Amino acid sequence: MTIIHRVLATPAALELIERLRREYGDLLFHQSGGCCDGSAPMCYPRGEFLIGDGDVRLGEIGGAPFYIGAAQFDYWKHTQLIIDVVRGQGGMFSLDNGTGLRFLTRSRLFSDAEAANLPPAAPTAGPAQRGL
């Protein structure tokens, strides 16, 4: 059976993740809910962004845990997030800021068969799952 991932990264995104990891150490992603930086995927040094009890861990990209707020997850639960990189200015607080590149979220709807085989996603439970 094929494993269905809720979040994936393109080769370009994986390259930038590795570049940022070499500079900053372990990383963590959080899908923004649309405030200051729109709906950009934000990249932080692991341990410098507090994951809330209501955040949902979608998986990992490039070895970095990827979270989304529960309200956002409710809207996007039927889609696979595909993290890509394009030229531009990164989010104000995201580590991609100043690199000349920025992370971008693309998405696609899961097929009915994929949706039936998705692993469960649940709110985080504590510091062990928060990447702290």
| All structural domains of the chain | 7-47+55-116 (2.60.300)
How far is it, in rounded angstroms, from Cα 2 to Cα 113? Answer: 11
Q: What is the mean pLDDT of residues 105-131?
A: 77
83, 41 in Cβ contact below 8 A?
yes
Q: Which of 33, 36, 29 is nearest to 13 (CA)?
A: 29
Give percent of the chain with pLDDT exceeding 90.
Answer: 61
Cα 113 from Cα 128, distance rounded (Å): 32
Whole-structure pTM value: 0.87
Task: Read off the pLDDT of residues 46-85 as tens digits, 9 standing for 90 and up.
Answer: 999 889 888 999 999 999 999 999 888 998 899 999 999 9
Burial of 17-50, coded b for 16+ CB within 10 Å and e otherwise, reads beebbeeeeebbbbbbeeeebeebbbbbebeebe
